[in-house]
């Protein structure tokens, strides 16, 4: 099924376009609207954005591939993005990624079989003072330890109705 903006998001996009002197300036806001609507952005969605903004498709695709914020395939209900820049790495980001993979079975660049989780390394989240940090959906978590990660994961599993120890 071809991607199309919902009526509401199409109206939002038209409003956003009106704030810029040239429609190409709305590429990032348009990609954010795609994310808001479906949780990920693929080339098909880029083509739709390019058509609406009347820009070459490659301009939209360049923005998509430059920013790690935009996943290019479906993500889990809880999109875990662990910062791997210098501050976070020095304070244990790699250990947290390994912990998520080994203890919870959440593999990088994959969605868990239950559809709840996916894990990605991302560039700086701008939370260096609270390293190591991660973003899950729109929420930031700082000063993380494996124990804090365990609490968060178990809480999300309970909230999703999977109970403790599932996953």
In three-state secondary structure terms, 136 is strand
Same structural domain, 152 and 102:
yes
Looking at the fold, whether 92 and 153 belong to one and the same domain comes out as yes
Check whether residue 33 and residue 89 sit in a common domain.
no
Q: Are residues 91 and 142 in the same domain?
A: yes
pLDDT at 162: 60
DSSP code of residue 111 = B
Distance of CA 40 to the CA centre of its chain: 7
Q: Does some domain include residue 71? A: no
Domain boundary among 36, 66, 96: 66
Q: Residue 89's domain spans which residues?
A: 78-159
Which helix (H) or strand (E) segment holds residue 113: the answer is none
Bridge partners (DSSP) listed for residue 135: 81, 140
Is residue 79 within 8 Å of 40, Cβ to Cβ? no
pLDDT at 163: 54
The structure's pTM equals 0.78
Q: How many domains does the chain have?
A: 2
Where does a domain end: 20, 40, 66?
Answer: 66
Query: What is the predicted pLDDT for the residue at 1?
Result: 59
Q: What is the mean pLDDT of each run of 10 residues along the chain (167 residues)?
A: 91 96 95 94 96 97 90 92 95 97 93 94 93 95 98 95 54
pLDDT of the residue at 166: 41
Which residues pair with residue 121 across a beta bridge?
Answer: 82
């Amino acid at each position: 099924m071809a991607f199309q903006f919902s009526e509401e998001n199409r109206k939002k996009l038209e409003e956003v376009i009106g704030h810029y002197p040239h429609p190409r300036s709305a590429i990032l806001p348009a990609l954010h609207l795609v994310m808001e609507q479906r949780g990920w952005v693929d080339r098909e969605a880029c083509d739709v954005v390019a058509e609406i903004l009347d820009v070459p498709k490659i301009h939209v695709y360049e923005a998509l591939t430059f920013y790690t914020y935009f996943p290019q395939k479906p993500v889990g209900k809880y999109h875990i993005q662990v910062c791997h820049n210098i501050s976070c790495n020095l304070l244990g980001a790699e250990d947290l990624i390994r912990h998520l993979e080994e203890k919870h079975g959440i593999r990088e660049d994959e969605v868990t079989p239950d559809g709840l989780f996916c894990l990605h390394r991302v560039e700086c989240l701008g939370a260096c003072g609270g390293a190591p940090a991660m973003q899950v959906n729109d929420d930031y978590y700082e000063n993380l330890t494996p124990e804090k990660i365990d609490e968060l994961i178990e809480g999300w599993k309970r909230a999703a109705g999977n109970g403790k120890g599932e996953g």
